[in-house]
Chain A
């Protein structure tokens, strides 16, 4: 499976949660598959999906899922110790690990080579780190939500993209409707 196929499969699970979605193709795909006010689309700032999601989870009680990529986690690797040391049991970091920088033309990341993000997360002190295959992502994600324990999921999938339009929604509109969904 490629990332967009995973997103399509887990969309029914995501719909009921607060989702912070990574810049570029992941946000564009989620926006096309199932646009929801409870989705916060990042239009810039590569690497901060996990940080925004953690800050949100620590500030209110609803479950927050940060959808991130292996390349984006590598660009903000300092996020993993911060997550590990500030446990929010309503927080799930879902790393869709296709071993490549999808939005920029599928250049390989180090996570597609020798670096294992699940081992990095564990070494940083994250307590519930689950590695799964693409087809199992929905089951693992639902189990993480039900567990009510902070979980880092590394979902291994194939590299590849679909053609789709950019998000033209105004950022303040994205933010405003998201905040209304958070507060509702």
Chain B
């Protein structure tokens, strides 16, 4: 199964048509797939809070948005999540590469990994953790849930889910 294709198929099937991305090595395949789809307007952003602003505007313009980013971005976007996305009650699926988990080669990534779930929990953000490839089967339901309840929702995807980083 091509996971990146399956993920973007689910996004398109749920009418997500405005996606902003800040790159991560793990997410390169998904971002490439997003860029390739004519149904999706892909707008790279320079920082994740800027991206969430773009998504808020797109939602108010009638589009279903999503953001693709690293978990380090949780540290950058707490104010935006609380005072924009949550305060105005807007939906936002956040597809997040969960760096710093098992098979991680870069020690510094662990420093934000240990805070990631605690921060999301503190923000009362519904959080799903994709660890095995089959976990992706829930994505369709998670997207429907996000646009049903008008909340930001986090989907953490770790290295095991993506099949590791190759030879270390």
Binding site for B on A (CB under 8 A): 20, 40, 42-45, 47-60, 64, 76, 78-79, 81-82, 86, 171-172, 174-175, 178-179, 182-183
Contact = CB atoms under 8 A, between A and B. Distances in A.
A179 B59 CA distance: 9
Contact of A78 (B47, B59, B60, B65): B47
Interface string B50-64: 111111111111110
B54 A51 contact: yes
A169 B79 CA distance: 20
Given A45-B53, A48-B80, A76-B50, A59 B18 contact: yes
B60 A45 contact: no
B49 interface: yes
A147 to B, nearest CB: 21
A171 B50 contact: no
Contacts of A53: 57
B50 A59 contact: no
Question: Which 9 residue pairs of A and B lie closest in terms of their CB atoms, listed nearest first?
Answer: A55-B57, A44-B83, A59-B61, A51-B53, A78-B46, A48-B53, A56-B57, A55-B54, A60-B61
Contacts, number: 117
A116 to B, nearest CB: 20
B18 to A, nearest CB: 6
Contacts of A78: 45-47, 50
A57 B57 contact: yes
Contacts of B18: 55, 58-59
10 contacts: A42-B84, A48-B53, A55-B65, A76-B49, A78-B46, A81-B46, A82-B50, A172-B88, A182-B60, A183-B62
B6 interface: no
B63 A52 contact: no
Given A48-B52, A50-B53, 17 more contacts: A40-B60, A45-B49, A48-B53, A52-B56, A55-B55, A55-B58, A55-B59, A57-B57, A58-B43, A58-B54, A60-B61, A64-B57, A76-B53, A78-B46, A78-B50, A79-B46, A179-B60
Interface in B56-77: 56-63, 65
B90 interface: yes
Contacts of B60: 40, 52, 55-56, 59, 175, 178-179, 182
B50 A44 contact: no
Given A59-B63, A178-B60, A43 B54 contact: no
A48 B54 CA distance: 8
B54 A45 contact: no
Q: Which among B55, B59, B61, B63 has the greatest number of chain A C-beta atoms within 10 A?
A: B61
A54 B55 CA distance: 10
A82 B87 contact: no
A53 to B, nearest CB: 6
Interface string B81-92: 011100111100
A55 B83 contact: no
Contacts of B49: 45, 47-48, 76
Nearest to B80: A45
A64 B167 CA distance: 49
A55 B56 CA distance: 7
